[in-house]
């Protein structure tokens, strides 16, 4: 099994494949990552949050399973004679604020979350003000607050924990870039008498760093966990390049979208019980450590998506788009200083902002785990297990993730998640 992409999703899948493999012992698992320093990886550039406050039951279940995994992480990913894992998990929940216009949606989401088993409570503006006096509740009609299994943790630690454990179980790490595939093609006829080209990958071409050499890696199965660049990887097999109205003409709808994260220092800012606050304007803020530091940002408007050819930070974006809304919602942040900032890529699914999990109808042995649009890190433990089940058992066992399959893209039926941050 060759896993393309050594972010948290790729290493989670590698770990679960090895954990489940007792039936098929001797399976070789290789993780190929082109950027071993992770300077562009979505995983380590993330704000590190986990929440159950989604609108789709599938996303809520993924969060609940992942939160349980993270709570007991040393039972799963601890390695004998190595230091225990400290995720620096902060259990302050998410606090979503809703305006009058969307309060009814928050109420619907709340009942979905409760029936899926999430511990969430609705708060009136008065209750918010009592609990968090630093929040300006003007124009807030309703709030929803996560009571457990929510908060934030260190993404770098989770990535390294999955990686360390997987390598200790025999997973091979390969630094290099996948530049192509060799495959066989089987031509079939569909009901309408049109030719359908089914491809089966035989080997993966990997270019080693700083060399012209290509290493062909033979494989039975390829997992596309290449994050923001997974659409480009599928293109190497002709996906999206066929006739416009055919399956082969449908691209994998995943592309990089750049997001800025700003670290600000506010000496008189809110203290220990600060939630992961999501304003209805889209601006978020959370505490970072105890020294008056906070992480904040907002997703840009669709029409203002920044250039993705680099990871440079736009500081004017903070001045224009983040700070005014932040200071309006929490006046204490009128007095702050930006101490650092970074940019990262979302593996943005332009179709419906949800993950794509499972194989492609035209490539019999390529499985996808991509397009999570900013919630891949928090769902990586549960998705990794699901992909491993699909590969080794032929179907999902623990959580039914079949709604995340390619089928919805073929039939053009989006699974719309209302709570995308």
Each residue's pLDDT tens digit, 351-369:
999 999 999 999 999 999 9
Please say if the pLDDT value at position 26 is more than 90: no
Residue 189 pairs with which residues in a beta bridge? 195
pLDDT tier, 304 (very low <50, low <70, confident <90, very high otherwise) = very high
Residue 266 to residue 334: CA distance in whole angstroms: 9
Instruction: Convert the pLDDT of each residue in 200-230 to its tens digit.
Output: 999 999 998 888 888 899 999 999 999 999 9
Give the 3-state secondary structure of residue 104: helix
Binned at pLDDT 50, 70 and 90, residue 157 comes out as very high
Measured CA to CA, the distance from residue 90 to residue 154 in angstroms comes to: 9
Beta strands in 176-313 (DSSP E): 177-189, 195-207, 214-218, 222-224, 254-265, 276-278, 284-287, 293-297
Asked if residues 186 and 198 have their Cβ atoms less than 8 Å apart, the reply is yes
- Let me know if 310 is exposed, middle or buried by CB neighbors in 10 A (0-12, 13-18, 19+): exposed
pLDDT over 90 (residue 43):
no
Q: What is the DSSP letter of 90?
A: B
Q: How many other C-beta atoms lie within 10 A of the C-beta of residue 247?
A: 18
3-state secondary structure of 341: strand
Residue-wise pLDDT for 362-388, tens only, equals: 999 999 999 999 999 999 999 999 999
Q: Where are the domains of the chain?
A: 1-52+61-86+153-253+350-421, 94-146, 260-349
Closest listed residue to residue 345, CA positions, set 296, 387, 307, 383: 307
Nearest to 340 by CA among 383, 390, 288: 288
The answer to whether residues 253 and 355 touch, using CB atoms and an 8 Å cutoff, is no
| Average pLDDT of the chain, as a whole number | 94
Q: What would the two tokens of residue 203 be?
A: 């080997």
- As a whole number of angstroms, the distance between CA 345 and CA 228 comes to 7
Query: Could you read off the pLDDT of 101-129 as tens digits, one per residue?
Result: 999 999 999 999 999 999 999 999 999 99
Q: How confident is residue 194, by pLDDT bands cut at 50, 70 and 90?
A: confident
Compute the residue count for the chain.
Answer: 421
User: Residue 24: its pLDDT value, please?
Assistant: 58
Rounded Cα–Cα distance for residues 79 and 324 (Å): 46
pLDDT digits (tens, 9 = 90+) for 245-254: 888 999 999 9
* Residue-by-residue DSSP string for 80-116: TTSPPP----B---EEEEE-GGGHHHHHHHHHHHHHT
Confidence of residue 23 (pLDDT cuts 50, 70, 90): low
Q: What does the block give as tokens for 381?
A: 């433990």
Q: What's the confidence (pLDDT) of residue 251?
A: 95
Q: What is the pTM of this model?
A: 0.95
Task: With residue 379 as reference, give the H or E element that holds it.
Answer: helix 376-393
Contact residues for 185 (Cβ-Cβ < 8 A; gap 6+): 197, 198, 199, 200
**CATH superfamily, with its number, for domain 1-52+61-86+153-253+350-421:** FAD/NAD(P)-binding domain (3.50.50.60)
| Whole-angstrom Cα Rg for the chain | 22
User: pLDDT value at position 37?
Assistant: 87
Of 318, 302, 323, give the one whose Cα is nearest residue 373.
302
Please give the Cα distance from 80 to 85 (Å, whole number).
12
CA proximity to 386, closest of 371, 374, 402: 402
Q: How confident is the model at residue 195 (pLDDT cuts 50, 70, 90)?
A: confident
Cα-flanking dihedrals φ and ψ of residue 197, to 5°?
-100, 110
């Amino acid at each position: 099994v060759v896993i393309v992409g050594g972010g948290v999703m790729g290493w989670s899948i590698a770990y679960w494949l090895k954990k489940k493999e007792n039936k098929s012992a001797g399976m070789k698992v290789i993780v190929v990552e082109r950027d071993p320093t992770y300077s562009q990886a979505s995983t380590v550039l993330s704000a590190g949050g986990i929440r159950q406050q989604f609108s789709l039951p599938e996303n809520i279940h993924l969060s609940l399973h992942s939160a349980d995994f993270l709570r007991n992480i040393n039972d799963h990913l601890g390695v004998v004679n190595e230091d225990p894992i400290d995720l620096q998990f902060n259990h302050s929940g998410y606090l979503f604020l809703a305006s009058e216009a969307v309060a009814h949606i928050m109420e619907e989401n709340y009942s979905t979350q409760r029936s899926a088993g999430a511990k969430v409570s609705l708060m009136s503006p008065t209750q918010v003000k009592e609990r968090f006096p630093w929040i300006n509740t003007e124009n807030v009609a309703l709030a929803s607050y996560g009571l457990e299994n929510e908060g934030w943790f260190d993404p770098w630690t989770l990535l390294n924990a999955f990686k360390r454990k997987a390598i200790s179980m025999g997973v091979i790490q390969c630094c290099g870039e996948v530049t192509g595939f060799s495959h066989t093609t089987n031509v079939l006829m569909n009901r309408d008498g049109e030719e359908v080209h089914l491809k089966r990958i035989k080997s993966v071409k990997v270019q080693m760093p700083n060399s012209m050499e290509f290493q062909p890696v033979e494989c039975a199965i390829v997992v596309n966990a290449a994050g923001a660049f997974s659409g480009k990887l599928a293109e190497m097999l002709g996906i999206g390049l066929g006739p416009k109205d055919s399956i082969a003409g449908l691209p994998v709808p995943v592309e990089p979208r750049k997001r800025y994260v700003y670290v600000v220092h506010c000496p008189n800012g809110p203290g220990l019980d600060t939630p992961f606050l999501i304003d209805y304007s889209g601006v978020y803020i959370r505490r970072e450590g105890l020294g008056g530091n906070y992480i904040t940002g907002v997703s840009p408007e669709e029409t203002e998506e920044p250039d993705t050819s680099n990871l440079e930070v736009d500081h004017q974006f903070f001045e224009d788009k983040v700070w005014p809304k932040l200071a309006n919602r929490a006046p204490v942040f009128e007095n702050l200083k930006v101490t650092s900032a970074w940019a990262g890529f979302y593996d943005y699914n332009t179709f419906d902002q949800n993950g794509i999990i499972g194989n492609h109808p035209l490539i019999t042995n390529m499985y996808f785990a991509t397009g999570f649009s900013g919630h891949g890190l928090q769902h990586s433990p549960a998705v990794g297990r699901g992909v491993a089940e699909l590969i080794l058992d032929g179907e999902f066992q623990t959580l039914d993730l079949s709604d995340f399959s390619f089928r919805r893209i073929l039939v053009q039926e989006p699974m719309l998640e209302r709570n995308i941050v």
